[in-house]
């Protein structure tokens, strides 16, 4: 700003450090650098003195020591003899699990509510506006607590399923909704390819990703044929086969079977357990963030000017194609960047897991481990580093996306 090029007037005077635009920015930066260095030196020396006075040092050795606490909800093997580091990794995976689940469902809720809010149906539009306002104006922490309370007070305890004439019965005989969580049939491989459980699942995911690229290849081929001959070949059965066949074959080969939960003693065993805190957090985050996404979706659709729709109609496109080929591509350009930052918010808000006792990274590393070892600085720094890495990765992808879809003008 304020770049003017005064002609040099004679020799250099000290006052020119402030008055001459050639030197002024250097002077200010030097002052800023000195102030910054002083601040860092001050804080650092305070830290060192305080640590020395408390007889502490900065060390990350505690990560290798046994943690001594159990975690109910976990994706990898872990018991109380595992190290604090392992507990932190369990926490990281739990954070990622609930974030990914909540991102998917929040998108569904948000898109539904956003589209319905623009519906010509007066009642539905008003209901959706009510949903959005209610959820946007009440803290997410209160929602998490309310939904967790609903789960624990409304659903029956496992003991209600006992006896000859139980108060509650399992859903279709295979799944039980209890106040401790949902017990569902869990998939088991009788003939696994890898000894470590999750590697098998990685294999399944890898095959699905292969199918995705295969299906895209087929679509590309169909488009090429269409360009050459003018007739698009029928490909849907190819696509279905590419999606289903490999993964079904792989699952059959690995001997997929279902482990159905059973009531033994006072609780269910076997099967797949989704703990109450996970469900409450998942649902609360999705329905809360869904309200914000609904507003983004509504804004995105409204941002496409009516002229676009009318122009498309004037070209003779049918209403479905107008939506798919003209409105949606332009609306997505507006919707997707704020959508991704909502995903980022979900990841950050998942740290409120600590309020309902879900063992995410904040509850393990920042909660129990911090309290047990007293290594506050190390734990909080690691915690911040984790969240920072995730946010920076996500913003990196936002930037790539924004550059890719930027309107190329002039």
Residues near another protein (CB under 8 A): 1-4, 18, 25, 28-29, 32-33, 36, 43, 46-47, 49-51, 53, 116, 119-124, 127, 133-134, 136-142, 145-146, 149, 153, 348-349, 351-352, 354-355, 362, 366, 370, 376-377, 380, 383-384, 387-388, 390-392, 395
Structure tokens at 213: 């690229």
Q: Which is nearer to another protein, 138 or 248 (CB)?
A: 138
Q: Which is nearer to another protein, 47 or 104 (CB)?
A: 47
Q: Which residues contact 389 (CB under 8 A, 6 or more apart)?
A: none
Q: Which is nearer to another protein, 140 or 184 (CB)?
A: 140
- Please count the other Cβ atoms lying within 10 Å of the Cβ belonging to residue 391: 14
> 375 in helix, strand or coil?
coil
Q: How far is the CB of 85 from another protein (least distance, A)?
A: 19
Q: Which residues contact 302 (CB under 8 A, 6 or more apart)?
A: 118
The Cα 295–Cα 307 span in angstroms is 22
**Matching residue, tokens 């997707």:** 336
Q: How far is the CB of 5 from another protein (least distance, A)?
A: 12
Q: Which is nearer to another protein, 37 or 193 (CB)?
A: 37
Backbone angles phi, psi at 332, to 5 degrees: -60, -35
Q: How far is the CB of 149 from another protein (least distance, A)?
A: 5
Q: How far is the CB of 49 from another protein (least distance, A)?
A: 5
The Cα 159–Cα 156 span in angstroms is 8
Q: Which is nearer to another protein, 93 or 356 (CB)?
A: 356
Q: How far is the CB of 165 from another protein (least distance, A)?
A: 24
The Cα 386–Cα 389 span in angstroms is 5
The residue among 116, 243, 257, 252 whose CA lies nearest residue 174 is 257
Burial 13-24 (b: 16+ CB within 10 A, else e): eeebbeeeeeee
Q: Which is nearer to another protein, 24 or 333 (CB)?
A: 24
Q: How far is the CB of 108 from another protein (least distance, A)?
A: 17
Q: Which is nearer to another protein, 148 or 183 (CB)?
A: 148
Q: How far is the CB of 103 from another protein (least distance, A)?
A: 16
Burial 149-183 (b: 16+ CB within 10 A, else e): eebbeebeebeebeeeeeebebeeeeebbbebbbb
């Amino acid at each position: 700003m304020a770049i003017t090029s005064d002609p040099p007037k004679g020799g250099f005077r000290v006052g020119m450090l402030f008055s001459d635009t050639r030197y002024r920015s250097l002077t200010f930066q030097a002052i800023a650098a000195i102030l910054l260095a002083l601040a860092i030196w001050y804080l650092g020396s305070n830290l060192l003195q305080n640590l020395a006075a408390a007889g502490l040092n900065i060390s990350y050795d505690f990560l290798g020591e046994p943690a001594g606490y159990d975690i109910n909800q976990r994706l990898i093997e872990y018991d109380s003899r595992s190290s604090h580091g392992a507990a932190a990794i369990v926490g990281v995976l739990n954070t990622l699990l609930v974030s990914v689940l909540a991102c998917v469902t929040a998108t569904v809720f948000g898109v539904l509510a956003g589209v319905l809010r623009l519906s010509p149906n007066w009642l539905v539009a008003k209901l959706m506006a009510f949903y959005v306002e209610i959820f946007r104006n009440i803290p997410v922490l209160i929602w998490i607590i309310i939904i967790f309370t609903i789960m624990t007070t409304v659903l029956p305890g496992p003991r209600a399923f006992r006896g000859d004439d139980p108060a509650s019965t399992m859903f279709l005989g295979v799944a039980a909704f209890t106040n401790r969580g949902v017990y569902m049939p869990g998939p088991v491989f009788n003939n696994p390819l890898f000894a470590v459980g999750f590697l098998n699942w990685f294999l399944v995911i890898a095959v699905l990703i292969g199918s995705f690229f295969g299906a895209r290849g087929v679509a590309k081929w169909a488009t090429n044929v269409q360009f050459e001959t003018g007739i698009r070949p029928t490909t849907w059965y190819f696509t279905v086969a590419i999606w289903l066949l490999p993964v079904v074959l792989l699952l059959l080969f690995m001997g997929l079977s279902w482990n159905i939960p059973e009531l033994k003693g006072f609780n269910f065993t076997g099967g797949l357990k989704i703990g109450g805190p996970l469900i409450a957090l998942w649902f609360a985050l999705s329905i809360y963030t869904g309200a914000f996404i609904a507003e983004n979706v509504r804004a995105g659709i409204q941002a496409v000017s009516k002229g676009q729709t009318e122009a498309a109609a004037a070209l003779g496109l049918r209403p479905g194609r107008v939506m798919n080929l003209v409105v949606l591509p332009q609306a997505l350009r507006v919707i997707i960047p704020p959508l991704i930052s909502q995903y980022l918010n979900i990841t950050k808000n998942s740290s409120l897991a600590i309020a309902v006792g879900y063992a995410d990274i904040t509850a393990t590393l920042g909660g129990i481990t911090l309290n047990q070892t007293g290594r506050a600085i190390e734990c909080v720094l690691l915690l911040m580093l984790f969240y920072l890495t995730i946010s920076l990765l996500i913003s990196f992808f936002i930037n790539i996306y924004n550059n890719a879809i930027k309107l190329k003008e002039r």
